[in-house]
Amino acid sequence: MPTLRHSYTVTALEDPAPLPLDKPDLRRKSPPSLSRSKLVSTFMGLIINQAKNKSPQGLVGLRNLGNTCFMNSILQCLSNTPELRDYCLRNIHRTDLNNNSRTNAALMEEFAKLTQSLWTSVNNEAISPSDFKSQIQRYAPKFVGCNQQDAQEFLRFLLDGLHNEVNRVTVRPKVSVEDFDHLSDEEKGKWMWNMYLEREDSKVVDLFVGQLKSSVTCTVCGFRSTVFDPFWDLSIPVAQKSSSEVTLKDCLRLFTKEDVLDGEERPTCNRCKTRRKCTKRFSIQKFPQILVLHLKRFSDSNNRTSKLSTYVNFPLKELDLREFSSESSERPVYNLYAVSNHSGNALGGHYTAYCRNQVLGEWYSYNDSRVSPVSSSQVRSSNAYVLFYELTPSSHSKHQTCRL
């Protein structure tokens, strides 16, 4: 039973920074800040309910509606994403929905209702996510039926749907084609990020979106071109070693290692004005508050899908990613708070989740309707498929999503 000293973090809402270069403000006006007394009473009510019910919130299972374990696993991971959970618990999403003036916002509303049920339920009986399932099927018909689906693919569809319904931008500006080659990489990255926010700006973007830098260098003249793209998650290959264990950083190094583009893959060099053999390398220009890492365990070869069951050792705390940063002065550090697991093979299997309860500070296993405590040593396994990391408070001020 949690004591009253367990509490939630109440974060003051900040006004969005203005658009650069005096461009028209296409974002919604920032919502009025909730009163401090209202926030405190809301969260104290949750905590007192925990004491009365003798069972902490957030430890509620989800019923399997027919091969929906992939959905349940991701929903539990998102429910244990603190800022997204609080966004739903405080009903702040409704302000964004109202400002959007969109008639179809049922997906966000059902997701918020489900999250609220998981965290305010008076008992620990499993909840049926049938209403939410109906809405995600309307948004993404590929999830209609009872076929087993990929959890990472479901996550992408879900975040995209939630973002679209609470996007603060109601009128997207036309995409401008401009020459950025005269700018430094840092200036180009900032410009591209601001251009992205002028079209896509929501609480979901605030949390999950980062920026990836791709550098292509001509091996003949040495000309280097850079491209900056937003990412919602990173799909990283599983490194293979025969003599020692594979670590998460081994996989990230494989993802960011320099590749050679030759033959049919040769790009056109802007300086040589012809196709040249080039090298290509990825680095992270802007780290998101929530970093989602997808371990690419499934691959297609010879028209057959296979699965890698390699054990990848990943840290639960203090994941330091400075070596993968485009900026050498940056030191982004992350802590793990959720894992979506897949057991079985490419032909069939089962999804579960491990999530760290923020109130109790303990790890729990979410296996559809069943929720049970697990030790931190059990969180690492060869079934780990999608990892959810949160930027540490010391790193957050440097990497928070905002206009640069």
User: What positions carry a catalytic annotation?
Assistant: 69, 350
CA 197, 200, 203, 207 dihedral sign is negative
Residue 235 — φ and ψ, nearest 5°?
-90, 110
The alpha carbon torsion through 71, 75, 235, 224 (nearest 10 deg) reads 130
Token pair belonging to 6? 């367990």
CB atoms within 10 A of CB 300: 9
Token pair belonging to 252? 């990230």
Closest CA to 206 of 402, 387, 13, 12: 402
Q: For residue 323, what is the DSSP state?
A: G
Contact 246, 239 (CB under 8 A): yes
Sequence letter at residue 140: A
Residue 386 — φ and ψ, nearest 5°?
-125, 125
CA 362, 368, 370, 375 dihedral sign is negative
What is the C-alpha to C-alpha distance for residues 207 and 155, in angstroms, rounded to an integer? 14
Q: For residue 180, what is the DSSP state?
A: -
CB atoms within 10 A of CB 89: 20
Q: Tell me, rounded to whole angstroms, the distance of Cα 200 from its chain centroid.
A: 15
Contact 337, 359 (CB under 8 A): no
Q: For residue 270, what is the DSSP state?
A: T
Closest CA to 294 of 391, 387, 155, 200: 387
Helical H segments across 16-91, by residue range: 36-53, 69-79, 82-89
